[in-house]
Amino acid sequence: MQLIEQIEVGSVYMFEIKKGLPLLGCRLIDKWAYFGIYATVCHEMVLKIYQYVYEDKPLIEVVLNRQNYSTGDIFHIAISGIEEGYAYTWQTIDEKGEKSMPLIDPYARSLSAFPKGSNHYKNLVLRDNLYEGVHPNIPWEETIIYEMHVGAFTKSPTSGLELKERGTYEGILKKLPYLKSLGVTTLELLPVFKWNKHTLANKHPITQETLQDEWGYNTIAFFALQEVYATNKNALEEVKAFRNFVKTVHENGMEVILDVVYNHTGEGGQDGTTFNFKALAPDTYYKKQGNHYRNDAGTGNTINNMHIVTKQLILDSLYYWVICMGVDGFRFDLASILAQNQDGNWYEGSLLEDIASDPVLSHVKLIAECWDAKGAYDVGRMPYPFAEWSDIYRDTMRRFVRGDKGMTSAVARCLLGNEIQFKDIRKDKNHTIQFITAHDGFTMWDLVSYSHKHNTLNGEDNRDGSNNNYSDNYGEEGETHNVKVLEQRKRRIKNFFTLLLLSQGVPMILMGDEIGRTQRGNNNAFCQDNEISWMDWELVEKNKDLLDFVKNMIGFRKESLCFKKANGHELKITFHGVNYNEPDWAYHSCSLAEQIEVKEEILYVVMNNYTELLKFEIPKSLKGWELIIDTSKEESFTKSSIRRTDTHYLMNPFTVCVFKLLKK
């Protein structure tokens, strides 16, 4: 039986304490709050309890020594009378008696800056509750992902929302009718975990203000949310806002996927800020190379995914977001790192394999970015059932639509959804995430408006961001009023969307591409919290023709049998050229035709990315063909009732057409 002591605080509070159990984090069980933290490099730990988060003086302060209050390297204690909403901090004490700064509990469910506006935090006591909403469980073959930044989606005044709603979960909920009408099924949120925004030394070249990380890829807590995305920014309100967000999205028939960063943290390298991991157990949480932190993520440190404590931390975090918060899956940033050993090489028995074989996690949507910052490239290597980002698709389609030669065979593989050669034979086209643009790089409008990046406002003299964009401005660099240039740009965008949504993999659309969102040529807008990165809602009307086209394309994909589960019906795809049954795979070929057949439905997709008119032979049919799409026309999505009984169709340059066999 554990020895129970009593602590009297004034004449009002009476607390009992005991050693408790080696449970990590803070758990409310019956009348007890069990606190536990893993630490290897300290002599003692100090736990301070606050009734209110913004109090200076703690209600309780307990020093935990290794003899009486630890089991191995876990310091732990149980205290009665602690309620949800209380705050607490941990501090290490070394052998000289020196205390560290107050530390973030790696298992904290919520954090609050103290003092307000600072980069220091108190941990909040929160009871875990099971998420009881209904998941849509959308099959992969019916999934259309919409990658979005929570803040940038509605932060612009053009969103028409109240000021307090802009840039929040509540703001997205107000725009759910827009997202539903667009037709996307799955919202993939850029990082929402608590992150260190103050990692940059770069100055804005005009204002000279120090820039901040606005994307969230410098996580400092794997269970806690960034409160900036909640309308009410008081303690614990961000948790309520997120749970309500997920529940409401589910009620509207859509899913929520989180972009998660478990490959590094926002503590940086040797000289970076300390929040918790460095002070508690640096050799456990980080990979070392000699006396220095490995830097496989390009941010100063690399998570030690081989250590059982770190592995368990990440698995526990994933469980929390699925079981308690209701999310439907994860996209793993720089996932290759999670499968690498201490030397940065791929190894068997990795954290990725643990996730892939987990009885719960293996049943949510798992997506991997299959590379790291040091040059590892593992596309096709991720364990089943991970889906994988296809940079092969991205680069192939960009080059083909631009008019590059030598692309037709690669395009055919992309259309089939088999451009990735998976090592696990259980994987198929539904494990390929296909995209033209993502948060990292040009928007689609900028892809057809800029021949090179324009990142000077990032404060790095335009050195940051990729130089390999496969973009073109089609006559003028940047924004223009030239009608011919604008027509060429919109046609290319329609070509991109047509090919993406008629490919056999899982399509992902970048926020705002459907309305021509621009970042003014900035292809690395991670530090821009302004009009550069914000969604401009005035474009909904300005580019209504483009938006309507994308809506129609998504609707067409959903209705077609050619992109659904086969259910015993054979999917037959054949390729052709200008002449039927004569595909031209030669280097100089810039044209391709594809016939897709399922049951009685037949589509004929024709692509002319040549500089001149081309006459394509159309398969003979007694019933005739209906022209569905011609991207060279102002009304590109025609749903024309005109029967094409002719044997040929004359196509404009840089155009995609889609024909559907008439049933009557």
- Distance between CA atoms of residues 75 and 20, nearest Å: 10
* Catalytic site residue from 255, 259, 369, 594: 369
Comparing CA positions, the residue from 539, 501, 519 lying closest to residue 414 is 501
* Catalytic site residue from 255, 267, 333, 594: 333
Q: Report whether the peptide linkage leading into residue 136 is cis, meaning its omega lies within 30 degrees of zero.
A: no
Contacts 24+ apart (CB under 8 A), 93-102: 93/42, 93/43, 93/44, 93/45, 93/46, 93/63, 94/42, 94/43, 95/43, 99/46, 100/42, 100/274, 100/279, 101/274, 101/279, 102/48
> 587 vs 3, 80, 84, 407, CA distance in Å?
80, 75, 67, 7
CA angle 118/124/125 to nearest 5° reads 170
- Catalytic, 369? Answer yes
Q: Report whether the peptide linkage leading into residue 115 is cis, meaning its omega lies within 30 degrees of zero.
A: yes
Gap between the terminal Cα atoms of the chain: 83
> 313 vs 24, 37, 262, 304, 322, CA distance in Å?
9, 11, 10, 11, 14
Query: Counting Cβ atoms within 10 Å, is residue 69 exposed (0-12), middle (13-18) or buried (19+)?
Result: buried
- Distance between CA atoms of residues 484 and 488, nearest Å: 6
Give strand pairing partners of 643.
626
Q: Number of helices (H) and strands (E), helices first, in the chain?
A: 14, 29
- Distance between CA atoms of residues 619 and 578, nearest Å: 11
- Distance between CA atoms of residues 473 and 495, nearest Å: 16
Q: Which two tokens stand for residue 411?
A: 């395009």
Q: Count other C-beta atoms under 10 Å from residue 191's C-beta.
A: 21
Sign of CA dihedral 540, 545, 549, 552: positive
Comparing CA positions, the residue from 85, 123, 87, 86 lying closest to residue 103 is 123
327 and 258 in contact (C-beta within 8 Å)? yes
Q: What is the CA radius of gyration of the chain?
A: 27
Give strand pairing partners of 579.
582
Burial 36-53 (b: 16+ CB within 10 A, else e): bbbbeebebbbbbbbeeb
Sign of CA dihedral 38, 42, 44, 45: negative
- Catalytic, 105? Answer no
Q: Count other C-beta atoms under 10 Å from residue 373's C-beta.
A: 16
What is the set of active-site residues? 333, 369
